[in-house]
Structure 1
């Protein structure tokens, strides 16, 4: 029935962010036409959190070793939103995108779901 998910990141400079995902993060991609790149995302999982405010969506990249990942990405010129912080459920920072947005980046300390069988 459902065979995948499609995440959309809205950007003030989509071309710069596409270049970032292609050249800096090295994500495999297809060209849907006219340079409109669609990237293969790493395995993912979905969590539903309660809120008293306006419902929203967020996108986080996950890694096994946040310090090592930050060091490697830093060598590629990636700018972070701040130092890693311990949130209890994991170590967290953020990546600044060239188009003005940001993505969360964290090392989970909770059980992960993306390796579960279908």
Structure 2
């Protein structure tokens, strides 16, 4: 029924953030025209959590990795700003990287079963 998911990040400096995703994160991309880069992401999954009593119900985007420490080291070596050091949560390890626009992207190493390898 569905062939994929398209995630849109709004940015105060889209050009710099696109360059980061292309050059630092190393995501393959296509140019959809006029410099609008669309990046291929790793496999995705979606989870539904209860909303907080008060606060945002906007979607959140996390990039997952098999070895968070190694990923952060590689990103830092490429000039990324690590904006949140690794913390251990009940569901895995969590950190974050800051895009040039200031947007923070959380990264995590799951310590729970994932849906990545389920058949389509």
Runs of 4+ aligned structure 1 residues displaced above 3 Å come to none
Shifted more, 76-85 versus 9-18: the winner is 76-85
Match of 2:70 in 1: 68
Q: Distance in 2 between matches of 1:24 and 1:80?
A: 12
Note the C-alpha offset of 1:88. Answer: 1.4
Equivalent residue for 2:83?
81
What is aligned with 1:106?
108
> In the alignment, is residue 95 of structure 1 matched against residue 97 of structure 2?
yes
> CA RMSD of the aligned region, Å?
0.9
Where structure 2 has 5 or more consecutive residues not aligned to the other structure, the ranges are: none
Match of 2:59 among 57, 60, 85: 57
CA distance, structure 2, for counterparts of residue 59 and residue 27 of structure 1: 16
Distance apart, 1:4 and its partner CA: 1.0
List per-residue Cα deviations over 1:6-44 (Å, max 9, x = no partner).
Answer: 000000000000000111111111111001000001111
Scaled by the length of structure 2, the TM-score of the pair is: 0.94
1:4-23 map, 5 Å: 4-23=4-23
Aligned length: 118
Unmatched runs of 5 consecutive residues or more in structure 1: none
What is the TM-score of this pair, normalised by structure 1? 0.96
1:76 Cα deviation from its structure 2 partner? 0.7
Q: Measure, in 2, the Cα distance between the counterparts of 1:67 and 1:40.
A: 23
Deviation of 1:100 after TM superposition, in Å, equals: 1.5
